[in-house]
A = this chain, B = another copy of it.
Amino acid sequence: MDEFSFIDSIRPSYYKQPSLVKGIGDDAAVFRPSGQDVVTAVDTMVEGVHFSRKTMSPFYMGYRALAANLSDLSAMGSTPAFYLVSIVVPEEWEQEELNELYTGMKSLADEYSVDLIGGDTVSGDQLSISVTVFGYVDRGKSRYRSSAKPDDIVFVTGTLGDSRAGLEILLNDLSIDSKEAAFFIERHRRPVPRVDFAQSLLSIERVTLNDVSDGIASEAHEIAEASQVDLHLTMEDVPFTDFIKKWFNKSYKEWMLSGGEDFELIGTVAGEDWNVVEEAAKECGISITKIGTVKEMAHEQPEVYIYENNEKKKLMKSGYTHLKRGE
C-alpha cells in the first residue's frame, strides 16, 4: 500500500474547524487554540480482541473507534474538534473496505464538525485502529473524576447493558428480525457519545464525569478512587431498557454493571445543581437517572457499595458483588 497516496486520497476538500491552520499533507497538522484548554486522548481497537468481522463491518469498526474517543472527550466536558487515525491493515484488506472504515468514522465526525487532520496507514497482520482526538474546553472547566464530594448525587445517562446485549445477539446469531434486537445491535455498533449533553452542563461549576466504557462498576470505582470518597448505588435505580429483561433475564443485571461499551456518562453533582443536569438531559433528548449518593470514606480505602433488596453489598470493579456482613 502506498501510505502517502492513501491519506492524501481521503484529504477533505475543506475543513470545518476554523482553528485549523494545516491539515493533512505535511509532516504534522497545526491548529490555533484561542484561549481554551486542549483536551486529547488516544484509544486503540484491535480486530479479534475488541471486535470481529462477525459483529462489525468496516463501516462500524471506524464509527465505533471514533465514538469511543469522542466519548472520552465528552467525559472531560470537552467539545471535539479534530482527530488523527493510525491504522495497521492486513494485506487481505481491500481498498474498498478501508474506504468504508474511514467513511464510518467520517459519518460520526461530520455530526460534530470534527476534522480528520492526519494519520498513518501501515501494513501488519492484524487490523488495529488507533484514534487520537482533540477537543477544546473553557479554562478550568474540564470535568475530572477527582471532583466528587460527599452528598453529591450519582447519576447516569441513558440505559445500561444494551451494547453487551447487542454483542450477544450478534455472536450467537439470535433472531434479528425484531425491532428490539435491532435496537441492541445499533447500541453496540453505533453508540452515541454524549457530546451534546456534556456541553450543556457548562453552567455548572463542578460536575464529575466518567464515560461508561468498561461498565459502571469499574467507572464508579475510578471516581471513588480519584475523589477519595465512597459511592453508594441502588441496584433498583440503575436504568435499563424494559425488554432487556425479557431477552436476557439471567444476564442483564451483570451486563448493566460490567457489560461496558454503552458509552453513556456516569457522574456526580451537588444536589442544588441536579435540576440543571435534568434540564440538560431533557434538551438533549436523553434520559438521566439518579442511581446513588456520594459519601465520605467509611474506611481507609474508597469503596463502591450497591444496595439490592435493601441489602448492602460491596461492588467490585469487575461488577461482581458480595454481601457486606455486619456493616
A residues contacting B by CB (< 8 A) are: 21-22, 25-33, 37-46, 48-50, 72-73, 75-76, 78, 84-88, 117-120, 122-126, 128, 130, 132-135, 137, 139, 142, 144-146, 209-211, 226
Contact = CB atoms under 8 A, between A and B. Distances in A.
Contacts of A29: 39-41
A128 B123 CA distance: 10
A42 B76 contact: no
A37 B21 contact: yes
Given A27-B145, A120-B130, 17 more contacts: A21-B142, A26-B142, A26-B145, A26-B146, A27-B72, A27-B211, A28-B76, A28-B133, A30-B76, A31-B40, A32-B37, A42-B84, A42-B119, A84-B132, A86-B130, A88-B126, A126-B126
How many identical subunits does the complex contain?
2
A31 B37 contact: yes
A165 to B, nearest CB: 24
B84 A144 contact: no
A239 to B, nearest CB: 21
Nearest to A90: B126
Main secondary structure of the interface of A (DSSP, over half): strand
Contact of A88 (B123, B128, B211): B128
Top 4 nearest A-B pairs (CB, nearest first) are: A28-B41, A27-B75, A130-B130, A46-B124
A69 B111 CA distance: 30
Nearest to A210: B27
Contacts of A209: 27
A298 to B, nearest CB: 24
Contacts of A118: 40-42
A125 B122 contact: no
A41 to B, nearest CB: 4
B88 A120 contact: no
Contact of A126 (B30, B117, B125): B125
A220 B87 CA distance: 26
Contacts of A42: 84-86, 118-120, 130, 132
> A26, A41, A43, A142 — which one has the most chain B CB atoms within 10 A of its CB?
A26
Given A123-B46, A126-B126, A22 B132 contact: no
A135 B21 CA distance: 14
B46 A84 contact: no
A38 B29 CA distance: 8
A26 B144 contact: yes
B134 A40 contact: yes
15 contacts: A26-B146, A27-B76, A28-B135, A29-B39, A30-B137, A31-B38, A31-B40, A32-B38, A33-B38, A40-B118, A42-B119, A44-B120, A49-B123, A49-B124, A88-B128
A133 B76 CA distance: 20
> A39, A48, A75, A78 — which one has the most chain B CB atoms within 10 A of its CB?
A39
